[in-house]
């Protein structure tokens, strides 16, 4: 039971990291787009 609980916690932390990572990518893309648009002006 303890081992299953540990694995469940591990899966949860991986999904949280994945959510943070995808959000970070989205923000980075928005920032990059703004920078590129500024360069084109």
* Residue (of 22, 4, 2) closest to 14 by Cα position: 22
Phi then psi dihedrals of residue 10, to 5 deg? -60, -45
* pLDDT at res. 14: 86
* pLDDT at res. 33: 94
Cα(12)–Cα(7) distance, integer angstroms: 9
* pLDDT at res. 11: 82
User: pLDDT (tens digit, 9 = 90+) per residue, 3-40?
Assistant: 777 777 878 888 899 999 999 999 999 999 999 888 88
Task: Name the band, by pLDDT with cuts 50, 70 and 90, for residue 2.
Answer: low
- Show the CA angle centred on residue 27, arms to residues 34 and 29, nearest 5°: 55
Rounded to 10 degrees, what is the CA torsion of 24, 25, 29, 32?
70
């Amino acid at each position: 039971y303890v081992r299953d609980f540990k694995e469940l916690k591990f899966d949860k932390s991986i999904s949280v990291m994945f959510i943070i990572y995808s959000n970070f990518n989205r923000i980075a893309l928005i920032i990059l787009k703004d920078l590129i648009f500024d360069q084109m002006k």
